[in-house]
């Protein structure tokens, strides 16, 4: 059950041995031991983690995090609705692409991958276009690691009575928030992010009153968010179609371990210390972060690639992997960079070991 290396990526990420061990038993999808004692408990715990406000519920969806984003966009927006997407990275752009695939009317505000969206620009767009009914925004855009000003954006959206869809894929469980206080209508995340489970399903935490409006609106059978929720509500956690049982059981264990760590606040503190240790160590080796310090999240950090002619990301990647660390290529269109994640079963001591491994892997320095 031991791993050969740490995954320093935005997910899948390194999990605890006990989370992996939780997958060593087979489960029946019709059995109360699974549905009532695992699935329903997960659903309740997720809502408790997300908000102290009443009126929220949760639904689990098979597939990747993107599948849950698509289920939400495809179910929440009526035929006469219109979506405004804030796009400052690949995942905002993906929401706009989903809307395009589903023939949903959509406007896009794209401030650039290294800039936070302007609250004023969002308000001006809402003033110009009264047909907009929904706002979709990514909390932590892992294209760069930038953290968007969601409180301010949601406040503006609510001032104009818009429904808010928040992609908190890479932040929920790792950054403290109360979606009820913020006014979020649909929040989407995934099992294999800050809760530190494994891939296989995503989840949506929603205002029940808004979720109930989705009845009959879905543009897909398997991605019908309302139908999935109604089935779980009426059948004590039963999924409409085959449940990813092993992944779900691992997620249950991961939730227990989040509680043991001290909850989201304690996990955020660990991730924040990881990120600070990472940036300090990488700077000491001559690497420069892509973003200004005030834009950083505790989730993932992008660094400019070395400019030396002998540098190749793949070679650097393989050197680090051989030393026990897996990093992530860059995804920014106008900068050559790579990314290092701070989340998962990773601690500041691991980051310090990583810095040592990076120093050993800087082969291009030898030929200067």
Report yes or no: 133 and 151 within 8 Å, Cβ to Cβ. no
Angle of helix 90-101 relative to helix 65-76, nearest 10 degrees, comes to: 50
Query: Measuring CA to CA, how many Å separate 89 from each of 10, 94, 98, 115, 175?
Result: 14, 9, 15, 9, 19
Report yes or no: 73 and 67 within 8 Å, Cβ to Cβ. no
Instruction: Give the CA angle between residues 56, 102, 139 to the nearest 5°.
Output: 45
Report yes or no: 179 and 187 within 8 Å, Cβ to Cβ. yes
Q: How many C-alpha atoms does 332 have within 13 Å on its Cβ side?
A: 25
What three-state secondary structure class fits 325?
strand
Please name every residue paired with 57 in a beta bridge, in sequence order, or none if there are none.
206
What's the rounded Cα separation, in Å, for the pair 306 and 361? 12
Token pair for residue 123?
A: 């308000």
What three-state secondary structure class fits 204?
strand
What's the rounded Cα separation, in Å, for the pair 37 and 202? 19
Strands (E), 63-193: 82-86, 105-109, 134-138, 140-141, 146-147, 163-167, 186-190
Asked whether residue 94 is marked as a ligand-binding residue, the answer is: no
- Segments in 102-178 forming alpha helices (H): 119-128, 150-159
Token pair for residue 129?
A: 């276009």
Of 82, 359, 57, 33, which Cα lies nearest the Cα of 229?
57
Report the sign of the C-alpha dihedral through residues 353, 354, 355, 360, in that order.
positive
Cα radius of gyration rounded to whole Å, the chain: 21
Please name every residue paired with 163 in a beta bridge, in sequence order, or none if there are none.
134
- Binding site: residue ranges? 339
Question: Residues within the annotated binding site for substrate?
Answer: 339
């Amino acid at each position: 059950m031991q791993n050969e290396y740490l995954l320093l990526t935005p997910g899948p990420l390194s999990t605890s041995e006990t989370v992996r061990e939780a997958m060593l038993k087979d489960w029946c999808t019709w059995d109360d031991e699974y549905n009532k004692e695992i699935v329903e408990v997960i659903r309740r715990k997720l809502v408790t983690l997300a908000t102290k406000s009443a009126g929220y519920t949760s639904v689990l969806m098979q597939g990747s995090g993107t599948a849950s984003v698509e289920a939400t966009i495809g179910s929440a927006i009526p035929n006469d609705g219109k979506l405004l997407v804030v796009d400052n990275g690949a995942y905002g752009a993906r929401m706009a692409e989903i809307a395009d695939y589903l023939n949903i009317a959509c406007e896009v505000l794209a401030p650039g991958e290294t800039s936070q969206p302007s609250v004023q620009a969002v308000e001006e767009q809402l003033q110009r276009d009264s047909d907009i009914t929904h706002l979709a925004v990514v909390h932590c855009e892992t294209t760069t690691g930038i953290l968007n000003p969601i409180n301010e954006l949601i406040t503006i959206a609510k001032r104009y009575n818009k429904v808010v869809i928040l992609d908190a894929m890479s932040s929920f469980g790792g950054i403290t928030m109360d979606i009820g206080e913020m006014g979020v209508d649909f929040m989407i995340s995934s099992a294999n992010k800050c809760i530190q489970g494994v891939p296989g399903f995503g989840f949506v935490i929603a205002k029940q009153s808004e979720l109930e409006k989705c009845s009959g609106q879905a543009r897909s059978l398997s991605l019908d968010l309302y139908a999935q929720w109604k089935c779980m509500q009426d059948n004590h956690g039963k999924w409409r179609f085959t449940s990813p049982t092993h992944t779900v059981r691992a997620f249950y264990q991961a939730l227990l371990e989040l509680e043991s760590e001290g909850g989201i606040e304690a996990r955020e503190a660990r991730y924040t210390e990881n990120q600070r240790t990472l940036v300090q160590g990488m700077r000491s080796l001559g690497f420069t972060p892509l973003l200004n310090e005030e834009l950083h999240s505790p989730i993932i950090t992008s660094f400019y690639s070395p400019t030396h002619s002998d540098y190749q990301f793949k070679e650097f990647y393989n050197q680090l992997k051989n030393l026990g660390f897996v990093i992530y290529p860059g995804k920014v269109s106008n900068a050559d960079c790579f990314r290092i994640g701070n989340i998962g079963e990773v601690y500041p001591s691991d980051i310090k070991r990583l810095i040592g491994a990076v120093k050993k892997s800087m082969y291009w320095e030898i030929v200067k």
